[in-house]
Amino acid sequence: MDVVGENYVSPNESNEEYLYTDIKELAIDSTETWLVTFEQRTSNDSNEDLQNEAKLRFWFYNSNKNEFELNTTIEYPHGQQTLNQMIFHPKKYELITSGNDGFIKIWTLIEQNQELTRSWRCLSVHSHRSYSSCALTFAFDKERNSFDLCCSFEHLVTIWKNNQTNFNDESDYEYKHCLAHFDKNDFVKHLISCQTQLIVCHSKLINFWNLTTKQFVKSLPWNVSTFAQHPTQDLIVFFDKNFLHLYSFVDGKCHTRKSSSFRNVQSALFVPNEKPSTVFPFGNYKLIFYLPKQVRFSLSLSLSQSKNENDLVFVKGLKTFVEQNDEKQSFDENLSNENQENLRRELIDRSQQDQHFNVKQTNSTTFDNLNQLNQIQNQLNQQLLSTPAYLLPSIASYSIDSLKKMLLPSQQFDFCSFH
């Protein structure tokens, strides 16, 4: 869909600045009938009339035409300041936006003339200490059967109680609590709520808070660039520099994978999958993540594939973990039956490997299985180091990253394959 509606070619003069309108944020409500986009065009010229042009657009889905139609347009939703994040209420037609103007705004769908005329308006505004607002999320309160709004103001996290327990009524938010961080310069980037916990992702670490007691739980030294929350399970995937962390809220366990491409992941999301995933304990979902630009990294290729410099490849766009094909030989089949990641590295003779990879088949992947896989990989590395050189395949078949990891005292290995 053409959101901006512009056909911009070039400026009038060659020395003028190129100005493009970018789509900065978008959100879709739980019923998938409303789409919201925020577009912005910024100019460095102080004399430019539209120095910070910004528009918030609400689109209604027309099922007959199978397309979104423009319903409401709001110019400068947060004044001359930019809009940082926006999120829909899980159970009602209500949008929350945050911005550098220091306000969180609640946009509500107004229906008139027996639903013949509908438009979106801002009915309430909240602020805290005149700080700029950023990260947003909703936390469900089981005792009151309502959703509380969690919003960050720079390094602080505020919780706003919704006084209306009926989802059909208009929300009435009231300031409730403030969760403080010791470093005033370490602003909040992301907020994640699950069960009774709230995860606050700062620039240098993430903090865990108990929403029931409002007490600090623990902290982890992760610099989270983006994350993906599982729709049905209490699992969250964090992308932290070169690492992918799979964290479980049930038992607090964390499983980690390393890859040079993880550093460039811009966004991630779980999408439904027809078959249960054997890569991670994702169930009938698969993880999709986006690489915005070309990144050079090493893939672990099997001996049956080409043994040349193509082991180092360039990738960009949407990526996911792929399952093992049925026609692969026993080495790959055993790992697939273990319901683990697709490990496409064979460093020694297959006949010798079959003796070490006779693992039991399971119907679901657990963290214990993943830990067992790490032990298997350590055994593989030990066997590689103890095998005479004349029995090993050509060095061209090895992944460069895998060889480097053997020289360093690290237990993290890149066992990912992408599609």
Residue type, 265: V
Task: Note whether 159 and 139 are within 8 A (CB).
Answer: yes
Lowest pLDDT segment from 26-30, 114-118, 146-150, 365-369 = 365-369
The yes-or-no verdict on residue 390 having pLDDT over 70 is no
Task: Note whether 270 and 286 are within 8 A (CB).
Answer: yes
The dihedrals phi and psi of 192, each to the nearest 5 degrees, come to: -135, 130
Residue 104: band (very low, low, confident or very high) from pLDDT cuts 50, 70, 90: very high
Decide which of 278 and 63 is more confident: 63
DSSP-assigned letters across all residues of 149-205: EEEEETTEEEEEEE---STTSPP-EEEEEEE--S-TTS-EEEEEEETTEEEEEESS-
Look at residue 371 and give its three-state secondary structure.
helix
The dihedrals phi and psi of 99, each to the nearest 5 degrees, come to: -155, 170
Residue 166: band (very low, low, confident or very high) from pLDDT cuts 50, 70, 90: confident
Consecutive H or E run containing 333:
helix 330-337
What lies within 8 Å, CB to CB, of 39 at 6+ separation is 3, 4, 21, 22, 23, 24, 54, 55, 57
Determine the topology of domain 22-218 in CATH. Methylamine Dehydrogenase; Chain H (2.130.10)
User: Given this model, what pLDDT does residue 408 score?
Assistant: 47
User: Given this model, what pLDDT does residue 416 score?
Assistant: 44
Distance CA 230, CA 286 (A): 9
User: Given this model, what pLDDT does residue 328 score?
Assistant: 35
Task: Note whether 58 and 34 are within 8 A (CB).
Answer: yes
Distance CA 103, CA 94 (A): 16
pTM, entire model: 0.71
Look at residue 408 and give its three-state secondary structure.
coil
Render pLDDT for 5-33 as a digit per residue (tens, 0 to 9).
887 667 677 777 777 889 999 999 999 99
Domain limits, the chain: 22-218, 222-419
**Percent of all residues in the chain with a pLDDT value above 70, rounded to a whole number:** 69
| Cα 60 to Cα 22, 36, 55, 86, 90, distances in angstroms | 21, 9, 16, 17, 17
Consecutive H or E run containing 376:
helix 367-386
Neighbours of 368 (CB within 10 A): 10
**Percent of all residues in the chain with a pLDDT value above 90, rounded to a whole number:** 40
